[in-house]
Amino acid sequence: MADIFELRDIEVWDGNMAASHALRQAQVDVVAAYPITPSTPIVENYASFMANGYIDGEFVMAESEHGAMSCCIGASAAGGRVATATSSQGFALMLETLYSASGMRLPIVLNVVNRAIGAPLNVNGDHSDMYMGRDSGWIQIDCYNPQDVYDMNLVAFRVCEDHGIRLPAMVHQDGFMTSHTAQRVKTLSDDVAYDFIGEFKPMNDMLDLDHPVTHGVQTEEDWHFEHKARQHHALMSAVLPKIQEAFDGLKALTGRQYNLVESYTMDDAEIAIVCMGTSVETAQEVSNELRAQGIKAGVVGIRVFRPFPLEQIADALKGCKAIATLDRSSPNGTVGALYNELAGALFNTSTHAVLTNYIYGLGGRDLTKSSIHTIYRDLQANAQAGSPTTPLQQFIGLRGPKLSFF
């Protein structure tokens, strides 16, 4: 039996430590992992908990991220709680197996500490890895600070292991900005956190020796389509209500309110920024400053990136005149993913806002308040003109030529 880790009501944790404690409190059965910056401290902390008697499970230090997720898949299919962590290049190496995990309907929790993907090699935060995972069939929950990381890990286990869901979940946090920045985190005691997640209930478990199962079959044109369609349908129809239910449960337990879409001063907003990660809080600060000047500015933070909450987003942006989508990943050949998602969410609605796209923060470049002020000024001009007054896609914080498009 693992020892109880006595936590203070409020700890000072960075995002990695918050994730590590959440995994410990979830009493994960198997963690198979491979270290990579900036997610490394998650597994280092976990190893340290283990070395000091706070972990009962197995900790498999794999030879690569691909091997780590492969072990996670085998362990999950065997029938128990499984989690791991990665970033960037490691995430890219894992990618093949991410599709396997979701296609095999295995509820694995993966902490992704978002980082740029080379070349050029870069260890700092952007959302390239998160975007790379967006078609992989995983639930993707986004965090803005260490408190979110702690809470969303608990939510992720509770949601993805539900027998009506059985899909893996990623919990995203920004590399260094969240993962290495210590902040106040309100904690739950070990037993309360565990009870919130609940016991793992196996299903189609390989280790049920009286009921052998075959995992990871081949399907060709006769059945592949039905499998993929059912998986997508489960993701689209069952997940958001289950996440909402978990958010409600967490609120009842802690008072902390999370939403599928985090609207901030959006009730009467005419101009809005839509973004993810730590940028949400920066944008919120700027919108406060603008509100003080009587400018009707708001912020919409994406909390759940997959499944994308199309209806909730459209609802949050109802009545807006100009919207900026901020993407922290190079689209490499089109507009940013958030721009595309927003355009899709709003197209058949009565909201006919001017929609523009900003690419920012690649490779850890800071997004400053002054940059966000500039974006809001663009939005004011767009709202007034009723059409884009700027190129459709711009880089923010880029040195040298502007390199804008359209």
Partner 1 sequence: MFQAKTKNLKNFSTSAERFEGANLLCPGCAHSIIVREVLNATNDHLILGASTGCLEVCTAVYPHTSWDASWIHIGFENGSSAVAGAEAMYKVLKNKGRLKQPDRTPKFVAFGGDGATYDIGFQWISGCFERGHDMMYVCLDNEVYANTGGQRSSSTPIGASASTTPSGRISYGEKQNKKDMMAIMAAHGAPYVAQVAPNQWRDMVAKIQKGFATEGPVFINAMSACTTEWKFSPEDTIAISDLATDSLVFPLYEIIDGTKLNITYRPKNVIPVRDYLGAQGRFKHLFTKQYEYLINEWQARVDAKWELLQRREEACL
Residues that bind partner 1 (CB under 8 A): 29-30, 32, 56-58, 60-64, 66-67, 70-80, 82, 96-97, 100, 104, 205-210, 212-220, 223, 227
Six token digits for residue 29: 């059965």
Min. distance of Cβ 182 from partner 1 in angstroms? 31
Query: Closer CB to partner 1, residue 2 or residue 7?
Result: 2
CB of 167 to partner 1, least distance (A): 17
Residue from 95, 87, 45, 103 nearest 69 by CA:
95
**Residue written as tokens 């796209």?**
357
**What minimum distance in Å lies between the beta carbon of 117 and partner 1?**
21
Residue 2 φ/ψ, nearest 5 degrees: -70, 150
Minimum distance from residue 160 beta carbon to partner 1 (Å)? 17
Q: How far is it, in rounded angstroms, from Cα 363 to Cα 125?
A: 6
Closest CB to partner 1 among residues 220, 267: 220
Smaller CB separation from partner 1, 189 or 204: 204
Do 173 and 150 form a contact (C-beta atoms < 8 A)?
no
Least spacing, CB of residue 55 vs partner 1, in Å:
10
CA distance 338 to 323: 11
Q: Which residue lies nearer to partner 1 by CB, 219 or 384?
A: 219
Closer Cβ to partner 1, 72 or 354, answer by number: 72
Would you state the torsion angle of the CA atoms of residues 87, 403, 301, 239, taken in this order, to the nearest 10 degrees?
-60
Structure tokens that stand for 60 in this block: 């498999």
Q: How far apart are the first and last CA of the chain?
A: 61
| Nearer to partner 1 among residue 104 and residue 367 (C-beta) | 104
Q: What is the DSSP string of 323-342?
A: EEEEESS--SSSS-HHHHHH
State the nearest-atom distance from the C-beta of 134 to partner 1, in Å.
Answer: 21
